[in-house]
């Protein structure tokens, strides 16, 4: 049987990958060698892309969920003509500063749609991209947003729980333009998959109402035919491609070592002999490169037609589309928040902390319809649905995704939405369940994606549900994460200010953390400026005399600090209260501002959480009132007393330090 | 049709639950009202238990995975006769200090096998219990360990990713004595399950090779028959019980409000009318209580026969069984570690940090065969299998579980093993993937379970795999967790000392964190005492003069601190190096010891991680050398230089502070 005409294109991937991995002395050959034909069929025959404009808004998205196989992606990007991935960068695979990093790192300009590596994240990101596409398609029409989302995926992603969450939710939402290309090679790092899994994985997709095809992943015709069928089918599609791991390297192919055993020059030579590839290391013969570059230009007519459609749109429509896709906020968006802030001073009742956020989110709906809220089966207690319609299998215009009890995929799909662009994803659950979502939050922080992670029920203030539901260490664990803003507003005014800061922040994710309990106003009067913008500020200066004590607090404990101040000031001890809703912003302030806020005297921090991290602000004469361990089951008021988080305890600690 | 004779027993659960929830003004009625018949059939006809000896080692284990339905469990415990749950405690449901907390909190003496609440944890714990049972059964024989593990489970647990990980692994391991009783009520907190899930959940179990029966969960005969079949079937079993949420309360049954809408006195009255239950609140008629108490004594013959078998065992065999079940360590176990420590000074090569731990684990195998190691598809790089045999569907004597790429269930099943007793669970993966396991780690800390979480690849020292695989914030996030020891040994000696401390620690979990890179010895000579026991200690005192500088470090950075000390001492600056492998232990030391160790002068901490948390030890003249953000892809040495984590940088920071 004569070789398929695309076979040399697939081999070009194989040998670029082998040569790069040999040169780097490490890497994962399993994926690029096993998926070379699958990737070639996709990129040459079907993918809508334009290497000359990598961030074209209507491109098909491609995610390498099995990110350890990064040389597959780099080979594809180089061969199809992405300027950011020249041969010299392939040759620097895994070197410091190379575009071709060990795992793909988010770099849309280079064609790298998301960072992948921790397994399961990529396919969950792809789900988010497909949701964003469907939503934008419904909003702007197929002329502007109408693309597929493909994800390469390995066994590991499908063993991870988040993988099943993704399978289940994608099937439920019937995202027909989502396709998984599974490298079904029967091998993981430990050896045969039979060491740890027995089920028919493809069947799991069928149960979840996916379109499933099982095929030979090295048969270019079969892959092409399956891709065509998958595109035509209205269900999300799985191509279960049986492959040989490390295919082409005699010593390791089909073996455990095919995954990532170190490759040597001799392996490369033996592969060249086996596959009849007489070319030098890193040499891609001109005819093959030409064929690849032509493939990279295959979508140009579609690209040009799209540009023309965009150019001929009515000006206002075009401006709105471009604004949304650029992630810009519309004129006047702050007015909603400013107005809310002003009206907070007239509010007759004191709502629960999380309900403040729900109100704000709802007020923003008409102004910022591109917010998409995901929530993990806590609609009523987290209060962020209100007027929003659900995004469903039959209604793509809805902007509220009932994620089910699946926090992990909720966070990861939010990342995918943010990476896609055109939507502002919010992910909502209890703070106690942030740990379930944390692997996604870490990836958002690493990529610098503008995801809003909204949390309610942020402390022992939740009361009787007990310690499982009472965060004590979670604020600290989030504050420890680089590039993650953690905001814990004290009242309705701070809620509005923090929301404004969070929306304007595009360089990374924000955790907006709200109490379950009522948050009485701590701001005495309206000011148009955003005082939370500096992260921490003097809410009340000492008035009984020169400042001797500074009380530091966040969220629900700011009111308590104010009460403690009253006690101390009544004794003539000049006491200031500092509200610190966002440590990350405070840390960015000039040293003299920080010093002015923190003061020279005694400092006592109060927070219904652990002390961990607070010492950075406490100085030599500092104390802390908060939690020493996990919480307990009982009414919130009783718990605050039980754990000694009271105004009197704060005042006592301040007095003790003054006398020390 | 006349009512089933057990129906009044089920109604007794229902009304105790309703009355307690009405009195508490909050709670979750959905589970106890929906599962009353299921639970009754189990406890009256099948469960092997003895309320008079709640911690009987061979009892069947029962986990309420849908822990919000805690009144189901409390009702069962009270009715069947557990002394710790008298009616007065039922009446204090959700009050501060009550045994009947909002969610079940680990309390074996009261019959509460594990803390549950965060969904999915309970069924994964149950998997661990079933593994422990099978292992102990193989080791000690069916005469001593031969019981079933049952878990009540709701829709949420089966939506969570960890739920699927559990389904998959339990099916793979064919744990035939594991049974899930699913409250298939088609309702979650948001409303109908159809809002967020479309698949046939039972089919997912069939795909994973479970024995599945679908039945009416209110039909006592059907449930009993299904339990009998499930017990007889060699596969793990799912009873998919179709139920009516909140059954018995006209206003909410079968509705969204059936889950946890507030119940009022009138609801209780209407339920009494509907179900013909004329008794007062909290009244259990004597005949029904008698029937329940008889049910609680049903296993007494089995219990007595078991006690006799134990009593007639050969003394040595009995002593060993009792030692293992009590979680006691055998005589001489420290010798292995002491010997390893001594020999470390003669080792010709410097092994990778994690390989030190692998070596120790392997040496312990003959002495402590009850260690069960789970690992998430990283056998080779984490090095903890070695001479261990795999625990498989056909070999229950193995003590190494290939968990697949499923970190979350790995951690949760380790918790279940520890709660079961008789085994010492280890859970092994890369530190970067700790976030996937974190919800389980939090539960281990909350319950105070002696689980050893072992992590390798703990910093940028992993090199070219890049920032996804490089922890920078994870040490801090674990240190922030109450009741979790985090140990980061600096060399082979500290590895042995930390292992010894971890094994002896029974009051909570330990995270043992190891570098990928080589750890040269920092201890210059053998000492028999365990210097890590104080958490932090002076490794090298200042010798060039009085101590002016204290360098604090952990793990792989201790060697670097020693180099920095050399630089400073060569300039005449008296410099001490403090190794701080375990902050939690250090924090427990007396103040004067801590002060002595930390010194009065300049302090500089160095760790290849973020600063977060270190300020608690840095004092007024403190500095830090470490990571400011996420890592990068490149060789480890280059990364240490790139991020400025070098001996020279530490010395420079110390000099700067001396001059400040």
pLDDT tens, position by position, B592-619: 999 999 999 999 999 999 999 999 999 9
* Closest chain A residue by Cα to residue B616: A615
- Tell me how far CA of residue B315 lies from CA of B302, B319, B422, in angstroms: 22, 6, 18
Beta bridge partners of B213: B239
CATH fold label, B7-303? Rossmann fold (3.40.50)
B587 shares contact with chain A (CB less than 8 Å)? no
The C-alpha torsion from A73 through A78 and A81 to A82, rounded to 10°, is: 70
Report residue B181 as tokens. 């009783």
**Angstroms from B287 CA to nearest CA on chain A:** 33
Are B473 and A464 a contacting pair at CB < 8 A?
Answer: no
The per-residue b/e assignment along A57-92, b for 16 or more CB within 10 angstroms, e otherwise, is bbbbbbbbbbbbbbbbbbbbbbbbbbebbeeebbbb
Pick from B390, B438, B612: CB nearest A438:
B438
A537-540 vs A575-579, strand pairing mode: antiparallel
Subunit contact B103:A24, Cβ cutoff 8 A: no
pLDDT tens digit sequence for B224-280:
999 999 999 999 999 999 999 999 999 999 999 999 999 999 999 999 999 999 999
Note whether B433 contacts A: Cβ–Cβ < 8 A.
yes
Rounded to the nearest angstrom, the gap between the alpha carbon of residue A490 and the centroid of all alpha carbons in its chain is 26
Contact A188 B377 (CB under 8 A): yes
Confidence of residue B337 (pLDDT cuts 50, 70, 90): very high
| Predicted pLDDT at B429 | 98
3-state secondary structure of B82: coil
Separation between Cα atoms, residue A76 and residue A97, nearest integer Å: 20
Whether residues A406 and B467 touch (CB distance < 8 A) is answered with: no
Classify B230 in phi/psi space as left (phi over 0), alpha (psi -120 to 50) or beta. Answer: alpha
Q: What tens digit of pLDDT does each residue of A126-170 get?
A: 999 999 999 999 999 989 999 999 999 999 999 999 999 999 999
Domain with CATH 3.40.50.920 in chain A: 531-659
Q: Could you read off the pLDDT of B394-441 as tens digits, one per residue? A: 999 999 999 999 999 999 999 999 999 999 999 999 999 999 999 999
Residue B305's φ and ψ, nearest 5 degrees, are -60, -40
Is the CB of A208 inside 8 Å of chain B's CB atoms? yes
Residue in chain B nearest A174 by alpha carbon: B198
Dist CA B197 CA B186 (whole Å): 10
What is the chain B residue with the closest CA to A104? B466
CB A542 within 8 A of CB A570: no
Rounded Cα distance between B94 and B27, Å, is: 8
| pLDDT at position A262 | 97
Residue in A466, A479, A621 to test binding to B, most B beta-carbons within 10 Å: A466
Determine, for residues A94 and B464 on separate chains, whether the beta-carbon distance falls below 8 Å.
Answer: yes
Sheet with A371-375, edge to edge strand ranges: A400-402, A371-375, A424-430, A452-456, A510-513, A485-487
> Are the CB atoms for B441 and B509 separated by under 8 Å?
yes
Residue with tokens 């490089």: B470
What mean pLDDT do residues B558-572 have?
98
Specify the pLDDT at position B1: 64
Q: Can you tell me whether residue B107 is helix, strand or coil? A: strand
Among all residues of A, which ones are annotated catalytic?
A: 407
Please identify which residue in the block is written with the tokens 């005297």: A601
- Topology of domain A333-513 in CATH is Rossmann fold (3.40.50)
* Overall size of chain B counted in residues: 660
* CB neighbourhood size of A264 (10 A): 12
The CATH architecture that domain B531-659 belongs to is: 3-Layer(aba) Sandwich (3.40)
Q: What residues of chain A score a pLDDT lower than 70?
A: 1
Asked if B171 and A199 come within 8 Å (Cβ–Cβ), the reply is yes
Nearest to B613 among A118, A612, A620 (CB): A612
> Residues 360 to 389 of A: which have CB under 8 A from any B CB?
375, 377-381
- Which chain A residues are closer than 8 Å to B155 by Cβ? 405
Report which secondary-structure segment, H or E, holds A238.
Answer: strand A237-242
The pLDDT value given to residue A230:
98
pLDDT surpasses 80 at B2: no
CB contact under 8 A, A26 and B464: yes
Tokens describing residue A492: 């309705």
Question: CA-nearest residue of chain A to B382?
Answer: A190
A633 to B102: CB separation less than 8 angstroms, yes or no? yes
Q: What is the mean pLDDT of residues B194-218?
A: 98
Look at A207 and B208 and tell me if their CB atoms are within 8 Å.
no
- H or E element that contains B539: strand B537-540
Which residues of chain A form CATH 3.40.50.970? Answer: 7-303, 333-513
Facing A406 at nearest CB: one of B118, B160, B477: B160
Assigned token pair, A248: 């082409």
As for the ipTM of the complex, it is: 0.98
Question: Is residue A600 within 8 angstroms of chain B, CB to CB?
Answer: no
pLDDT value of residue A347: 83
Indicate the range of A172-181, B67-76, B351-360 predicted with least confidence.
Answer: B351-360
Residues of B in contact with A193 (CB under 8 A): 404
CB contact A587 to B (< 8 Å): no
Q: What pLDDT sits at residue A125?
A: 98
**Minimum CA–CA partner of B611 in chain A:** A480
């Amino acid at each position: 049987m004569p070789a398929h005409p695309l076979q040399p294109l697939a081999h070009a991937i194989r040998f670029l990958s082998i040569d790069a991995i040999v040169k780097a002395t490490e890497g994962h050959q399993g994926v690029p060698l096993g998926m070379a034909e699958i990737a070639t069929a996709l990129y040459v025959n079907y993918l809508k892309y334009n290497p000359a404009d990598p961030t074209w808004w209507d491109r098909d998205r491609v995610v390498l969920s099995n990110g350890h196989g990064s040389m597959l992606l780099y080979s594809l990007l180089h061969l199809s003509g992405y300027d950011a991935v020249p041969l010299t960068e392939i040759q620097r695979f895994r070197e410091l500063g190379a575009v071709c990093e060990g795992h793909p790192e988010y770099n849309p300009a280079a064609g790298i749609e998301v960072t992948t590596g921790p397994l399961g994240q990529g396919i969950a990101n792809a789900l988010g991209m497909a949701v964003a596409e469907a939503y934008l398609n419904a909003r702007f029409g197929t002329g502007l947003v109408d693309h597929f989302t493909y994800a390469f995926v390995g066994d590991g992603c499908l063993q991870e729980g988040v993988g099943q969450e993704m399978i289940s939710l994608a099937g439920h939402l019937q995202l027909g333009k989502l396709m998984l290309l599974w490298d079904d090679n029967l091998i993981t790092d430990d050896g045969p998959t039979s060491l740890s899994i027995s089920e028919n994985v493809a069947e799991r997709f069928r149960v979840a109402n996916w379109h499933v095809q099982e095929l030979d992943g090295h048969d270019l015709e079969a892959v092409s035919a399956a891709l065509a069928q998958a595109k035509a089918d209205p269900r999300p599609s799985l191509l279960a491609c049986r492959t040989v791991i490390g295919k082409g390297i005699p010593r390791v192919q089909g073996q455990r070592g095919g995954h990532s055993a170190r490759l040597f020059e001799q392996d490369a030579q033996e592969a060249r002999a086996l596959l009849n590839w007489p070319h030098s290391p890193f040499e891609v013969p001109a005819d093959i490169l030409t064929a690849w570059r032509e493939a990279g230009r295959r979508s140009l007519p579609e690209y040009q037609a799209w540009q023309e459609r965009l150019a001929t749109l009515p000006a206002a429509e075009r401006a709105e589309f471009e604004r949304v896709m650029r992630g810009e906020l519309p004129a006047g968006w702050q007015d909603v928040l400013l107005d809310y802030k002003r009206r907070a001073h007239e509010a007759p009742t004191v709502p629960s902390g999380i309900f403040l956020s729900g109100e704000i989110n709802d007020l923003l709906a008409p102004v910022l319809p591109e917010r998409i809220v995901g929530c993990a089966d806590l609609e009523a207690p987290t209060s962020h649905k209100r007027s929003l319609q659900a995004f469903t299998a039959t209604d793509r215009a809805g902007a509220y995704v009932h994620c089910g009890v699946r926090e992990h995929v909720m966070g990861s799909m939010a990342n995918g939405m943010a990476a896609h662009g055109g939507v502002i994803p919010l992910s909502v659950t209890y703070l106690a369940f942030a740990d379930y979502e944390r692997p996604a939050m870490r990836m958002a922080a690493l990529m610098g994606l503008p995801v809003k992670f909204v949390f309610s029920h942020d402390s022992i203030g939740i009361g009787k549900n007990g310690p499982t539901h009472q965060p004590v260490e979670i604020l600290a664990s989030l504050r420890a994460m680089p590039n993650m803003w953690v905001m814990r507003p004290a009242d309705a005014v701070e809620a509005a200010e923090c929301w404004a800061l969070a929306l304007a922040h595009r360089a990374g994710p924000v955790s907006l953390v709200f109490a379950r309990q009522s948050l009485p106003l701590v701001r005495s009067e309206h000011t148009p400026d955003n005082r939370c913008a500096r992260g921490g500020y003097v809410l009340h200066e000492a008035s009984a005399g020169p400042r001797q004590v500074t009380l530091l607090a966040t969220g629900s404990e700011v009111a308590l600090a104010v009460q403690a101040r009253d006690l101390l000031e009544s004794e003539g001890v000049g006491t200031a209260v500092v509200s610190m809703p966002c440590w990350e912003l405070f840390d960015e302030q000039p040293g003299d501002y920080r010093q002015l806020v923190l003061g020279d005297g005694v400092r006592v921090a109060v927070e219904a959480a652990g002390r961990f991290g607070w010492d950075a602000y406490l100085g030599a004469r500092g104390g802390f009132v908060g939690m020493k361990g996990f919480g307990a089951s009982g009414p919130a008021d009783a718990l605050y007393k039980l754990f000694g988080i009271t105004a009197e305890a704060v005042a006592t600690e301040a007095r003790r330090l003054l006398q020390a």
